[in-house]
Structure 1
Amino acid sequence: MKLALLDALEAARKAKRQVCLVRLLDQGGTEALVVDGRQTEGAPLPEDALEAARAALREDRSKTAETSAGKAFLQVFNPPLRMIIVGAVHITQSLAPMAELAGYEVTVVDPRRAFATDQRFPNTRVTQDWPDEALEQLAPDRRTAVIALVHDPKLDDPALDVALKSDAFYIAALGSKKNAAARQERLQALGHDPATTARIRGPAGLPIGAVSPAEIAISVLAECTQALRQGS
């Protein structure tokens, strides 16, 4: 590997970018770097090789692929998946362990000490910081999901305000369509444009008829997975 390409790879990884190293095996191991779906270094890739690299990044899986440039080995270097859940509520008690099983590093944010306890979340990181302070410290990136489940603007809105300024791939909040519309108006009053506030999935979760907290958690994780693997 050329030193310039190695330096670019390490810089992208430190910046928590999604990186795929493409080796064209039928062309003497010629290498190229794809960062966040765009080629940044190396020999120009044909479109089908670039699309194969994008697919490997979405799937979180290194693999070989047949391209118009011959066989290519696609080596994926993705940052860890993270999920920040605002609200230590009943839904969170189901969602947090489900998300951890799915490979997420989960953090539960809730300043209400009666809710955010180790007893209620024995195996999950919990912080009692105010939501906006917690989100700023956690710094959501393009491999982070942010889900607001408090159903109280005093806690949800500060977290969503920070999340909308980030590259979080999934932002969602609980509530009816009426509440979602009111939420968008409040966040637009904070300076976000309509296209930005439209990033918030609300009501959170796929429409599967979920009723219980566990079922709602399943629907939210399913929608999060859809956003991760299939995009918006």
Structure 2
Amino acid sequence: MQLDVLTRLNAERVARRAAILVTDLDGGAQRVVCEADIAADPLADLLARRLASGRSGIAEVEGRQLFLTVQAPPVRLVIVGAVHISQALGPMATALDLAVTVIDPRTAFATPERFPGIDLVGAWPDEALGAAVPVLDRYCAVAALTHDPKIDDPALAAALRAECFYIGALGSKKTHAARVARLAAAGFAPEAIGRIAAPIGLNIGAISPAEIAVSILAEIVAVLRAPRDRAAP
């Protein structure tokens, strides 16, 4: 691998931006396609599908063998609210290799005993996320689960500003309508607010906290793996 290729890949990795290394197996030529440049690339459809799947592999294009090495940032899940659903969702997400953080200022709920092995932040979301713990970006999912606007709204606002790939919020249609009004009053455009999945999770008839957690995680995976517009924000 040439030094300039390695340098560019490392720069994208450090910046938590995805990239694909395209290697011509016939001639050995290599080039890096950054996530923001995929839409304009001659192999746009192929690269978008590979990036969505997260899987590297061989592809044949016009009679030539190409190896596509997918480099994507580790996916993070920020759960807002140390509630019963979160207790089920955290281990499930960890099993899928998502890096999980639970944020809740109510430290009586956000305890290691209730969330063993999960990164806990006992602070208000605006304080926690404002300090970049954890960092929100396009490879983060945010699930707001407290039903408390004082806790959920700042997290949702931060997720919208960061253009997280998935943003979901627990609550009824009536609850969400009030939430939409608050976010609109805070200056968010209808298109941005419309990105919030509410009620959160796939409609599978979930009732128990564990079932709701399954529906949320399934929706996160569905959004993550669907090819989408990956132009830079």
* TM-score normalised per structure 1: 0.92
1:177 matched to which residue of 2? 173
Q: Which of 192, 196, 201 in structure 1 is aligned with 2:188?
A: 192
SS in 1 for 2:156: helix
* 1:38 match: secondary structure: helix
Q: CA deviation at 1:201?
A: 0.5
Say whether 1:125 aligns with 2:106.
no
- Work out which structure has the larger RCO, using CA pairs closer than 8 Å and 6 or more positions apart in sequence: 2
The alpha carbon displacement at 1:168 in A equals 1.0
Whether the 8 Å CA contact 2:78–2:102 is kept in 1: the answer is: yes
- Residue 206 of structure 2: aligned partner: 210
1: CA distance, partners of 2:152 / 2:119 = 19
Any idea what SS the aligned residue of 2:162 has?
Answer: coil
1:181 deviates by 1.7
Whether 2:221 is the aligned partner of 1:222: answer: no
Match of 1:91 among 85, 88, 91: 85
Distance across 1 between alignment mates of 2:29 and 2:63: 10
What is the CA–CA distance in structure 1 between the aligned matches of 2:48 and 2:2, rounded to whole Å? 22
Residue 34 of structure 1 aligns to a residue in which SS?
strand
> 2-side partners of 1:69 and 1:111: how far apart?
58
Q: Determine helix, strand or coil for the equivalent of 1:115.
A: coil
Q: Distance in 2 between matches of 1:4 and 1:143?
A: 25
* One-letter identity of the residue aligned with 2:13: R
Q: Which of 76, 79, 82 pairs up with 2:70?
A: 76
Give yes or no for contact 2:74–2:99 (8 Å, CA) kept in 1.
yes
Is 1:108 aligned with 2:102?
yes
Aligned residues of 1:46 and 1:68 also touching (Cα < 8 A): no
Contact 1:56/1:76, CA 8 A, preserved across alignment: yes
Q: Tell me if the contact between 1:37 and 1:54 (Cα under 8 Å) persists in the aligned partners.
A: no
Asked if structure 2 preserves the Cα contact closer than 8 Å seen for 1:18 and 1:79, the reply is yes
CA distance in structure 2 between the aligned counterparts of 1:160 and 1:10, rounded to whole angstroms:
31
Q: Which residue of 2 aligns with 1:31?
A: 30
Deviation at 1:37, TM superposition (A): 5.5
Contact preservation (8 Å) 1:93, 1:120: yes
User: Alpha carbon RMSD of aligned pairs, Å?
Assistant: 1.7
The answer to whether the 8 A contact 2:184-2:190 is kept is yes
Q: Would you say the 8 A contact 1:139–1:166 is kept in 2?
A: no
Q: CA deviation at 1:72?
A: 0.8
**Cα-to-partner distance string for 1:184-218 (whole Å, 9 max, x where unaligned):** 11011111111111111000000000000000000
**Is the 8 Å Cα contact of residues 48 and 227 (structure 2) preserved in structure 1?**
no
Sequence identity of aligned pairs in percent? Answer: 50
1:158 aligned counterpart, secondary structure: helix
Q: Distance in 2 between matches of 1:145 and 1:45?
A: 27
- Equivalent residue in structure 1 for 2:47, among 49, 53, 68: 53
Structure 1, unaligned runs of 5 or more: none
User: Which ranges in structure 2 are unaligned for 5 or more consecutive residues?
Assistant: 229-233
Cα deviation, 1:50-85, whole Å, max 9, x if unaligned, reads 322222211111111111261110111111111000
C-alpha distance in 1 between matches for 2:195 and 2:63:
37
Separation in 2, partners of 1:161, 1:124: 24
Q: Equivalents in 2 of 1:201, 1:152: separation in Å?
A: 17
TM-score (norm 2): 0.91
